[in-house]
Structure 1
Amino acid sequence: MNVRNPFIPIKKADAVIIDGRVEQEITKKLNKMDIQTIRTVKCEEVDEAIAYHPDIAIHPIDANTLVIAPNVFEYYKYIFKNRPIKLIKGDKYLKGNYPNDIAYNVARVSRYAIHNTKYTSPKLKYYLEKQGIRLIHVNQGYTKCSTAIVGSNSIITSDPSIYKACKKYNIDLLYIKSGYIKLPGYDYGFIGGATGVISEKEFLFTGRYDNHPNKKDIDKFLAKNNKKAVILSDKEIIDIGSIIPLKYN
């Protein structure tokens, strides 16, 4: 079975799910690129800093099928009622702090889903395995936050457990220093939460990453994977819980 990574649309995405708090500079840039922006709703039960993060409450099984935490399911049921997106209500309610807020924060690369599998939503596991996706256990729980999915078999991460695990599976990896990404409420954010892909060629950054010590390495890695960096804001790069692409047909 040839499984397409939902974080990398084959054709240009029709829309993206994005943190409901992002500034208009980012949404305006996306709209100019003919990308519709769907703002998240707050998940009241988790920490304020990540309460609007898409990758906390949503996991795309494929380009138009989403597993959504029951906490916020009714909001997305309303938002997507006239759009060709299939919604699956998750089985695990999110609450409090780690590890009770990570059930849907799963990274994807190649034929693998990477997560702390002790806490993955059982329903999400079922749908992943149904597609022939193999789960790789790591100690990190926020694996999607920590993983920038660049290509079908390539990722960028600053997490040592993700890097170590993925090396065993011949995944193309770039390991970078942690930090240098803004996340209000925390010391720093993560590369996966500050990026997204909207086509086979366009790799989005939420802001400028000139101050990152691995900037040249990142640029080379993107070029190797035939990706063009698209900067959505002139401000400092910020972790907004990933940019999740959607394709309506």
Structure 2
Amino acid sequence: MNFAKNSFIVNNKLQLAIVDKRIPKNMETNLNNMGVSIIKSTCCSNTYEAIKYHPDISVCKLNDNNIVVAPNVYNYYKDVLKPYGFNVLCGDSIIKNKYPYNIHYNIVILKNFAIHNFKYTDKVILNYLEKNNIKKINVSQGYCKCSICIVDDNSLITSDEGIYKEVIKYGIDCLLIEKGHIDLFELNYGFIGGCSFLISNNELAFLGNIKNHPDYDKILDFIESKNKKLVSLSDDKLLDLGSVIPLLEY
């Protein structure tokens, strides 16, 4: 059992992750059958219904055992995560109901880059980025992690044109896909980053059936070019549950 060394990258096989409490039972069962145990998120009642259980709204995993959590839900995650050896840091920013005051922790952190609208990034996270010389890629999209599927440290998938145009300037390989075709409770549609996550060093899992997406062939070609396989956790339509946050690896 080891800490997932990088923020969203799984180098071996995922063992433990934080997942939206509302995950459908069939998807939870399939994860358990793959050896992945889950910690269910708690409600951040200060923000709106569709995203109030999304882990990436109130939790940001840094590297190794460091995790920043919004003050709104700090006590819950401190009690749940400290027994595993995590250093649970209380963030500076309180999550509020509406955009942009609910995006402070919704950041993508890769090995060498961080991607966010840094006008609103939590100060504890900003200090960490500065201390570790992680280069900041500023984008206008605040729901940044929701919008980005992380394939590896230099490969991403997004439907956000602004993110796409910005990250390719830094030599990041990025696939731009069609918007929509992902459920997000009562909202019009969800995002690719909220329904996908790495479960091993060569497997990218989807909450639902990725074959139902109109850009499936493009996604498959892109993933295979990175020596990875696609795993669908159910036959249902893709569901945005906010980012699944990897914690421990085998």
**Do the structures match in fold with TM over 0.5?**
yes
Query: What is the CA–CA distance in structure 2 between the aligned matches of 1:209 and 1:201, rounded to whole Å?
Result: 16
Structure ranking higher in helix proportion: 2
Is 1:139 matched with 2:137? Answer: no
Could you say if the C-alpha distance between residues 194 and 248 of structure 1 is closer, same or farther in structure 2, counting changes exceeding 3 Å? closer
Partner of 1:231: 232
Partner of 1:160: 161
Secondary structure in 2 matching 1:197: strand
Give the letter aligned to residue 80 of structure 1: L
Alignment of 1:116-135 (within 5 A): 116-135=117-136
Contact persistence 2:70–2:93 (CA under 8 A)? yes
Count matched residues.
246
The alignment yields a C-alpha RMSD, in angstroms, of 1.3
Query: What is the CA–CA distance in structure 1 between the aligned matches of 2:158 and 2:173, rounded to whole Å?
Result: 11
Q: Structure 1 unaligned runs (5+)?
A: none
Secondary structure in 2 matching 1:81: helix
Percent of pairs with identical residues: 43
Partner of 2:45: 44
Partner of 2:15: 14
Is 1:69 matched with 2:70? Answer: yes
Query: What is the CA–CA distance in structure 2 between the aligned matches of 1:73 and 1:228, rounded to whole Å?
Result: 35
Secondary structure in 2 matching 1:234: coil
Partner of 1:148: 149
Give the letter aligned to residue 46 of structure 1: T
Q: Structure 2 unaligned runs (5+)?
A: none
Using the TM superposition, name which of 6-15 and 89-98 deviates more.
Answer: 6-15
Give the letter aligned to residue 168 of structure 1: K
Contact persistence 1:63–1:245 (CA under 8 A)? no
Contact persistence 1:108–1:149 (CA under 8 A)? no
Structure 1 residue 176: Cα displacement: 0.4
Could you say if the C-alpha distance between residues 34 and 211 of structure 1 is closer, same or farther in structure 2, counting changes exceeding 3 Å? closer
Give the letter aligned to residue 243 of structure 1: V
TM-score for both structures, normalised by structure 1: 0.95
Contact persistence 2:91–2:122 (CA under 8 A)? yes
Contact persistence 2:20–2:241 (CA under 8 A)? yes
Is 1:187 matched with 2:163? Answer: no
Using the TM superposition, name which of 147-156 and 10-19 deviates more.
Answer: 10-19
Could you say if the C-alpha distance between residues 120 and 175 of structure 1 is closer, same or farther in structure 2, counting changes exceeding 3 Å? same
Give a deviation string over 1:205-226, Cα, whole Å, max 9, x none.
Answer: 0001333221100001110111
Runs (4 or more) in structure 1 with deviation over 6 Å come to: none
Query: What is the CA–CA distance in structure 2 between the aligned matches of 1:214 and 1:235, rounded to whole Å?
Result: 16
Give a deviation string over 1:91-132, Cα, whole Å, max 9, x none.
Answer: 100001100000000013341111111111111111122222
Is 1:240 matched with 2:241? Answer: yes
Secondary structure in 1 matching 2:231: strand
Secondary structure in 2 matching 1:72: helix
Partner of 2:59: 58
Secondary structure in 2 matching 1:82: helix
Give the letter aligned to residue 37 of structure 2: Q
Contact persistence 2:46–2:97 (CA under 8 A)? yes
Secondary structure in 2 matching 1:62: coil
Partner of 1:90: 91
Secondary structure in 1 matching 2:76: helix
Query: What is the CA–CA distance in structure 1 between the aligned matches of 2:177 and 2:64, rounded to whole Å?
Result: 28
Partner of 1:208: 209
Using the TM superposition, name which of 22-31 and 215-224 deviates more.
Answer: 22-31
Secondary structure in 2 matching 1:148: strand
Structure 1 residue 64: Cα displacement: 2.5
Query: What is the CA–CA distance in structure 2 between the aligned matches of 1:169 and 1:26, rounded to whole Å?
Result: 35
Give the letter aligned to residue 132 of structure 1: N
